[in-house]
């Protein structure tokens, strides 16, 4: 569970915010990253480099408390568990906005359709988006969620019910991990109609505190603050910049010089 904790813990600390002004122009933070991510479709990847790069962009239904392993509400404000432990009813947060970018302008807020798309894509090998954009889901399958989640159903605009085949005491903790980042079903439909489904990996759209701006492999990733984020207290920067340096000694020198 390291992945959702590392960068998010940094982003949530007042210390980082207080020192950021000396690291980059304006209200920005430069983070020295150890490598270039393969992409931003976080369900595909298992490394910290990939997941750290995706972390600012997305939310999950449940998330880990900053600096801890306790689970707290994310895009779901609460969830009910049936007496037999097999059915989870998620009550979704109202008014959450997906990122507006040069390549996508959402026409609606986050809703149950996005949760159903996110999990059905991983569950159903015959899903149209999955067939158009072949990919593997190592964490999801490795934890046998592909076998244990029987179905994911929308029961209302902001209500989703997940039914399991067998009791899983760690189910909420599992879906709080990076691979369960909620994607936009509307954006996925746009990409599918345009014949460009793989762009979900290189031109990401999420609901997180930062929106994707640009990526230059082996150089930098740039994010801009999501001014419409549902928890304004977590958006303390105007810009977030990943400075990619594979050489540890170079990262140390940049840190010492106040460059990241």
Closest CA to 79 of 93, 67, 95: 93
Task: Check which CATH number belongs to the domain holding 121 and give it.
Answer: 3.90.76.10
230-246 pLDDT tens trace: 999 999 999 999 999 99
The total domain count for the chain is 1
pLDDT score of 7? 52
Phi/psi region, residue 24 (left: phi>0; alpha: psi -120 to 50; beta: rest), is beta
Closest CA to 95 of 104, 83, 86, 108: 108
Regions in the chain scoring below 70 on pLDDT = 1-26
- What does pTM read for this prediction? 0.89
User: Is residue 183 within 8 Å of 113, Cβ to Cβ?
Assistant: no
User: Is residue 78 within 8 Å of 91, Cβ to Cβ?
Assistant: yes
Cα 31 from Cα 244, distance rounded (Å): 8
List the 159-164 sheet strands across, edge first. 76-81, 87-92, 159-164, 149-156
pLDDT score of 66? 86
Distance of CA 56 to the CA centre of its chain: 7
Place of tokens 């940094």: 10
User: Domain of 117?
Assistant: 3-256
């Amino acid at each position: 569970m390291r992945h959702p904790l590392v960068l998010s813990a940094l982003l949530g600390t007042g210390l980082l915010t207080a020192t950021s002004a000396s690291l980059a122009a304006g209200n920005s933070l430069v983070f020295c990253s150890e490598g270039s991510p393969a992409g931003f479709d976080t369900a595909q990847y298992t490394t910290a480099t990939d997941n750290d790069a995706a972390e600012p962009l997305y939310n999950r239904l449940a998330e880990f408390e900053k600096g801890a392993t306790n689970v707290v509400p994310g895009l779901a404000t609460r969830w009910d568990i049936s007496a037999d432990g097999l059915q989870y009813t998620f009550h979704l947060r109202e008014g959450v906005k997906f990122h507006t970018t040069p390549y996508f302008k959402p026409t609606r807020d986050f809703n149950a359709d996005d949760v159903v798309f996110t999990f059905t894509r991983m569950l159903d090998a015959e899903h149209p988006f999955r067939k158009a954009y072949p990919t593997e889901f190592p964490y999801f399958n490795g934890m046998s969620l592909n076998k244990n989640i029987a179905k994911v159903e929308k029961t209302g605009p902001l209500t989703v019910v997940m039914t399991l085949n067998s009791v899983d005491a760690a189910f909420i903790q599992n879906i709080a991990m990076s691979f369960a980042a909620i994607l936009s079903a509307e954006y996925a439909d746009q990409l599918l109609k345009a014949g460009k489904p793989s762009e979900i990996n290189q031109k990401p759209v999420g609901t997180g505190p930062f929106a994707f701006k640009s990526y230059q492999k082996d150089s930098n990733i740039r994010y801009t603050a999501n001014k419409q984020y549902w928890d304004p207290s977590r958006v303390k920067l105007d810009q977030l910049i990943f400075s990619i340096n594979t050489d540890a000694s170079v990262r140390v020198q940049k840190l010492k010089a106040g460059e990241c």
